[in-house]
Chains A and B, each alone.
Chain A
Amino acid sequence: MIGNRKTRRGALAATACLALATSLGACGLDSGGSSEGNDDEIVIGVSLPLTGDFSEPGKGVQRGYEAWASYVNDNGGLLGKQVRLEILDDQSSADRVASDYEKLINQEKVDLIFGPFSTRLVVPAAQVAKDYGFLFVEPAGAAEEVFTQGFDNLFYAAPAIADDHYNLLAEEIIAMPEAERPKTAAYATMDDPFAQGTAYGLKDKLEAAGIRTVADEVYPPNTTDFSSIAAKIADTEADIVVGGTQYQDAVNLIVALQQLNFQPKMAAFSTAPTNPEFPEAIGAKTEGILSPTGYTPDATYPENQTFVEYYTEMHGGPPAEDEANAWTTGEVVAAAVEASDCADPSPECQQQLIDHLREATVDTVVGPLSWDAEGRPESAHLIQQYVDGKIRIVLPKDQAEADFVAVKPAW
C-alpha cells in the first residue's frame, strides 16, 4: 500500500499541479519570497491539515507550532537566529501532504521540517523526509504502523505509543497485594488500531500477571447501541472493566453499564474521560473512572509550567494535547539543533540531528523523552482519575495531584 502510494506520488503530484496551478499558484511556479539564502533565520517547513477531515486537530497543532516559534524568538532564537515557520495546508489528503513536503524541501529550501497531524498523513510525509535524509519529528501518529515502515529518521514527540498508554496503571495493579488485586478483567474495544492498541496493551500485561480475561468485546466504530455489550460484561461480574474507546462509545457503554447496575472495582477508558464534554454527559457518576492522558496542563514539569503560562497569555486559555505535542516537537528538534550546533538542509547536518536524538533524553512539556530505534517514545502516559468530582493525575506518584483510588465508588 505504501509502496504503491510512493510510485503513484509523482503522477499524482503532477496532476495536482495541473489542477491547482491556476487557482492557487501551487507547485512552486511562482513561489516568490522563498527562504533561500537568508542566513539570519532558520526556516522550518510544515504541512498541516488546516482544512478537511483533520482540520480541528490540525489547527491545534498549528497553534502549538506558532506558540513555540514565538516563544523561541522572544528568547533569543535558535542558535542566535530567528525561527520562521512555513506552513502549507495539505487539506487532510495523504497525496497532498507528500507533495507539500517535496515542495518545502526542494523549492522552499527549508532548513528543518516538522511533522503533520495523524498517522494517515505522517506515513507518506515521513517517506519524503526519509528520501531526502531529513530529520522527521512528528506530533501525532501513535499507531504501530508508523513505526514498522523502516523510518530511521522518525521520532514521535509524545510520551508513548498506543500500546503503552496504560503502562503506569498496569504497574500499579500488578504491584497490589494479592488479596486486593483484581482477579478478572473485561475488555471492550473499538475496532480501530489506536483505541484497540491502548486496551490490548493493558490486556497483555494483566494476562501475564495472571489476571483472567473474562470478556473481550470488539465493536465496529459505527456502533451506537452498547446495551448488549454491557449485558455481556455485566454477566461476567469482572473486577475491572477496560475500554479501548474514543468518545461516544465510552459514554454510551458507561451509561449502559450503569443502567444494568454493574459495579466493577475499577473502570478505565481511553480518550473519552479527559474530554471536557465527558462529565457533562455522564453527570455526577464519573467518580473513580480512570483514563490515560498524553498531556495535561496540570503536569508539574518545569517546561510545562513555562509552556502553559506562555500559551495562556497568548491565547487566553490553556493548551490541549495537540498544542502540547506540537510544542514538544519544537522542543525536541531544538534540543537536537543546539546539541549538534547546526540547522541546515545538508545531509551531514540532518544526520547529526538524527544521530543525536537516537541517544538523547530531551526534557519536554510531557516529561523527559527518549526513543527506541524505530522512533517509539519510551515514556508512559499519565493516569488520571475522577477524584472528588474532578479529573486529576494519580499516577505516576511524583506527578500525582490526588491519591490513586483502587476501589472505585459505585456509579
Chain B
Amino acid sequence: MSGSLLLQSVILGLLLGGLYALLAAGLTLYFGVMRVVMIAHSAFLILAAYLAWWFQRETGLDPLLSLVVTVPLFFVVGFVMQRLLLARLRPATLTMMSVLLTFAIALTIEGLLGYVFSGTQRRIQLDYSGSSLEVFGANIAVVKLIAFGLAAVALLGLWALMKLTRFGQALRATIQHPEAARLLGINTDRIAGFGFGLGLATAAIGGTALSLDSTIYPSLHWHWIGPLMAIIVIGGLGSIPGAAIAAMLLGVSQSLLQVPLGTTWAQTVFYIALFATLMVRPQGFFGGRLAQRF
C-alpha cells in the first residue's frame, strides 16, 4: 500500500465515518428515549434524499436549501408518529412490536417513493459533484466535505441541545429514568414525542447529506439499516457520543480494510464488530449504562 493511498483511505474513512455518525444519531436517540427499534429510520433518510433531489430538480436551487422545509417537517412527522402510533404499543412488548410497526412504515415509505418517483435511480446533479480539494496529495471531495460538515454541525447542535437546555435535561432525565422524571414534573410523554421528532429531524439532515453524493432509489434504505444498527449497538444503545465514536472507527476500518481485502470482505467489518461486541461487552463500548438494564 503506497503512502498516498493510505492517506487517501484514512481521509475517505473519516468522511464516511462522519456520515455514518449523523445517520446513526437518530437511531440511537429513539432507542434511548423510548426503547424503540426504528427500522424505518433509513427509509426516512431516503425520503429526505428524494425530497432534496426533487426540490433541486423543480427549483434549480441548491439541495441544501431543502433543509429549511424538511427539518421542521420531519420533526413534526416524528412527533405525530410517536404520539399516534408508537405510544399506543404496550410497554411490555414495546421494543419487539416497534420493530414490526416501523418495518411496516419502512415498507410504506418505500412503496410510496416507488409510486410517486418510480424505481428509476436518481442522482442530484451539482456543478461541484466531482470537485475536490487537494491536501498533501490526497483529494477531498467537496460534496463529502459538505456532508461531513453537516454531520458535525448537526451532532454538535444535538449535543448542545441535550447538555445546555432545559429541554435537553428533561430529555436526558426521560432517557435515564422515566419514573423519576415524571415524579419531578416532567411530562415524559410529550418529551418522548419531541425526542422522536428530534431523531427524525436528524434523518432529514442525514438524508440530504446522503443525497449529495449517492445515487438514490426507493429500496436503498435496506442497504443502510444493517450497518446503522450495528453502529448503535457497538456504540452502546442510546448513547449518541458512543454511536459517533463507533461510526468513525468503523468508517475508517472499512475504508482501510478495503485496500487489502476488497469491498466484499470490508463490508463485513460491521458484523464482525457487532458479534465481537455482543460476545465481549453486550451493552456496547461507550455510554453503556443504559443498555445494561436490558
Contact = CB atoms under 8 A, between A and B. Distances in A.
Interface of A: 56, 191, 217-220, 222-225, 227-229, 231-232, 234-235, 247-248, 251-252, 255-256, 258-261, 277, 280-283, 285, 411
Contact of A248 (B126, B213, B217): B217
A71 to B, nearest CB: 29
Contacts of A225: 16, 214
B56 to A, nearest CB: 12
Contact of A228 (B12, B120, B215, B217): B12
A255 B220 CA distance: 18
Contacts of A281: 121-123, 125, 215
Contacts of A255: 123, 129-130, 213
Contacts of B90: none
Given A220-B264, A255-B129, A227 B12 contact: yes
Nearest to A56: B119
A224 B123 contact: no
Interface of B: 2, 4-5, 8-9, 12, 15-16, 119-123, 125-127, 129-132, 134, 139, 141, 143-144, 213-215, 217, 220, 223, 254-255, 258-259, 262-264, 266-267
Contacts of B144: 227, 259
19 contacts: A217-B263, A218-B262, A222-B223, A224-B215, A224-B220, A227-B16, A228-B254, A228-B255, A231-B8, A231-B12, A247-B215, A251-B121, A251-B123, A258-B130, A259-B131, A259-B141, A260-B8, A280-B125, A283-B127
A251 B213 CA distance: 10
B119 to A, nearest CB: 8
A234 B2 CA distance: 12
A14 B217 CA distance: 38
A53 to B, nearest CB: 11
Contacts of B5: 231-232, 235
Contacts of A218: 262-264
Nearest to A279: B125
Given A224-B220, A277-B120, A281-B125, A261 B132 contact: yes
B130 A285 contact: yes
A268 B39 CA distance: 38
- Listed residue (B15, B131, B213, B267) with the most chain A CB atoms within 10 angstroms of its CB: B213
A259 B8 contact: no
Contact of B215 (A219, A251, A261): A251
B264 A261 contact: no
B4 to A, nearest CB: 7
Nearest to A262: B139
A10 B127 CA distance: 58
B264 A228 contact: no
Q: 7 tightest A-B contacts by CB?
A: A258-B130, A259-B141, A219-B263, A281-B123, A228-B258, A248-B215, A235-B5
